[in-house]
Structure 1
Amino acid sequence: MNEMNQENDVLSIVVPVHNEEETIQIFYDTVEQLTGDMTTTIHYHFVDDGSTDETPNILRALAAQNDRVHFIIFSRNFGKEAGLYAGLQQADGDYVAVMDVDLQDPPELLPEMLNDVRSGAYDAVGTRRADRTGEAKLRSWFSEQFYVWINKISQTKFVDGARDYRVMTRQMVDAILTLSENQRFSKGIFSWVGFKTKYIAFENRERVAGTTSWSFWSLLKYAVEGIVSFSTVPLTVITIVGLFSFLLSILSAVFIVVRAMIYNNSVAGWPSMVTIILFIGGIQLLSLGVIGRYIAAIFLETKRRPIFIAKEEK
């Protein structure tokens, strides 16, 4: 690509926000300062996910000051995944970046990431955390286990510690937008669509301000959605468990009948029988729960409800 075309390039940065009144201005000033020497024009696409603080007003003020700042304000909280999808829809740059507003995603990596994509060597350059310093040990352990097991049960490759922070070509973004599913798991979608991707590792960082809205339980729910979206192995597992339990019950029945015929006595062991019943009942309830989660996903998809509803857009 010649120098003139590079100067006319537009990099659209998609930034989902939710109650981030303390971080938006810091993020904007930091990125503006770091990208000031880049030949590429930077456009911002903030997506407010139903904030209840001053976030919408701050976005309106920024957009009034700078024509390169755009925003979408949701009618209510639809979740970060909906925010990502809405931002990717609005972004019209030659290249598109996804970033968190809390500066846990190092903005100083943007020039390197963009250059690697613009060179044509890669369709996307993503980032991954090299460590989990500052994160609760239990939360870190569950995160590590999630990546270990999701890669065992899914055909889609998940990179341990991968962030949503990445720079992508227009072609890759268009491919992502064709996946209009309601139950979204972007880390899986980014990988599923393919395209040549490079990952840059960086040391974990604390938020620049404010507090995260991601609790342990919301992350656990998000992980379950990822498993349901990209693997049917849990259904296979409960099928095998059900088959094993059935065969075990047949063997147990044969044993009981043979023992009664040989020793001519009634069957003893009520406590053990109750334990077995509770065990089988627990397996059945667990199996129904797993099946029910997949059915729930089908139910939500068949409704064909929009991923988000925009109240205001600029």
Structure 2
Amino acid sequence: MKKLSIVVPCFNEEEAIPLFYNEVKKIVTLLEKKYNLSTELMFINDGSKDDTLRVIKEYNKLDDRVKYISFSRNFGKEAAIFAGLESVIGDYIAIMDVDLQDPPELLEEMYLEIINNNFDCVATRRVNRKGEPPIRSFFARCFYKLINKMSKIEIVDGARDYRLMKRQMVDSIIEIREYNRFSKGIFSWVGFQTKWLEYKNVERAAGETKWSFWKLFLYSLDGIVAYTTVPLSIASVSGFLFCIIAIVMIIFVVVKTLVWGEPVAGYPSIICFLFLIGGIQLFCIGILGEYLAKTYLETKKRPIYIIKERSN
């Protein structure tokens, strides 16, 4: 009998868990009967401050399929996904958000695509961003265009973490033990044959999103730094171009003074130009600082997560 495991990261989701469990229970029960599967639901409590862990424990007592891991503090969704993938034992492993923005009814179609068409992974992408603030949608689209132009891997616009994978692909993902994790990039980097399912955006069933605009911005920077070194090249090229411009301007000023004997004028424009140069220098130093910071964190070899409690 093949086993299907579902990894569910949770952070302050006490309101959403009952809704999620009731919906997913219907689907996994159907899959068990229809395709002779066994299933497990692995909830990852990512240092929640509400009653998320208590609610999970209640379902753990009621349903043998429900298991959980509870972190010692909040380590972030990336760590929660990694912990879940590392802990489950299924032949097929899915990742789902607990807010029901990942439609559970797609699980059957995803499973059939893997079984019948021999895909290694069936992933999902949103075809619209209904319900999102327009400014967030705009910057999200810009991010995907930017990273796909700079990186050697392709990250599909609107891609979700919601996907079903074979054990071989999950084992490859687990082997990547980098501290600064960007799962969408890792999923693409490991390769394997992936089928994409499209669906319209679904709004949250309960609770509030934990992803503010600032957190998403920092997350996008992590993705860019993790999967391309183009920003470093931009810093180098900018420095070279401004050196050339400076040399040309020096020659121009010297020739102008020798030939026409005019004093050097244009004090305000010089000040503006100095501010421009200073800004570009700080920008380039910032780029170097981002890569240096990530390297610093990697060399520390800290654990990606720490487990405080887990189900038997």
- TM-score scaled by length of structure 1: 0.96
| Cα displacement string for residues 86-105 of structure 1 (whole angstroms, at most 9, x for unaligned residues) | 00011110110000000000
2:180 to 183, 190, 212: 183
Structure 1 residue aligned with 2:234: 237
TM alignment of 1:250-261, pairs within 5 A: 250-261=247-258
Structure-2 separation of matches of 1:111 and 1:9: 14
TM alignment of 1:15-34, pairs within 5 A: 15-34=8-27
Structure 2 residue aligned with 1:278: 275
Deviation at 1:153, TM superposition (A): 0.3
TM alignment of 1:79-228, pairs within 5 A: 79-119=76-116, 121-228=118-225
Q: How many residues align?
A: 307
Structure 1 residue aligned with 2:292: 295
| Cα displacement string for residues 265-312 of structure 1 (whole angstroms, at most 9, x for unaligned residues) | 321111111111111111100000011000000000000000000100
Letter in 1 for 2:72: S
Structure-2 separation of matches of 1:88 and 1:234: 31
Structure 1 residue aligned with 2:2: 9
1:247 to 235, 239, 244: 244
Structure-1 separation of matches of 2:57 and 2:28: 22
Letter in 2 for 1:195: F
Structure-1 separation of matches of 2:258 and 2:308: 76
Structure 1 outlier segments of 4+, above 3 Å: none
1:50 to 41, 47, 52: 47
| Cα displacement string for residues 162-214 of structure 1 (whole angstroms, at most 9, x for unaligned residues) | 00000000000000000000000000100100000000000100111111111
Deviation at 1:119, TM superposition (A): 3.0
TM alignment of 1:61-72, pairs within 5 A: 61-72=58-69
Deviation at 1:120, TM superposition (A): 5.2
Structure-2 separation of matches of 1:219 and 1:266: 52
Deviation at 1:35, TM superposition (A): 2.5
Structure-2 separation of matches of 1:117 and 1:103: 22
Letter in 1 for 2:127: A
Letter in 1 for 2:254: V
| Cα displacement string for residues 43-100 of structure 1 (whole angstroms, at most 9, x for unaligned residues) | 0110011000000111111112222111110100100000000000111101100000
| Cα displacement string for residues 130-156 of structure 1 (whole angstroms, at most 9, x for unaligned residues) | 111111111000011111111100001
- TM-score scaled by length of structure 2: 0.97
Q: Secondary structure at the match of 1:267?
A: coil
Letter in 2 for 1:285: L
Q: Secondary structure at the match of 1:37?
A: helix
Letter in 2 for 1:169: K
Structure-2 separation of matches of 1:95 and 1:312: 25
Structure-1 separation of matches of 2:229 and 2:283: 15
Letter in 2 for 1:56: L
Structure 2 residue aligned with 1:5: none
Structure-1 separation of matches of 2:278 and 2:117: 57
Structure-2 separation of matches of 1:37 and 1:273: 73
Structure-2 separation of matches of 1:265 and 1:142: 49
Deviation at 1:116, TM superposition (A): 1.3
Structure-1 separation of matches of 2:141 and 2:240: 31
Structure-2 separation of matches of 1:40 and 1:245: 63
Report the aligned-residue RMSD: 0.8
2:265 to 248, 262, 268: 268
Unaligned ranges ≥5, structure 2: none
Unaligned ranges ≥5, structure 1: 1-7
Structure 2 residue aligned with 1:3: none
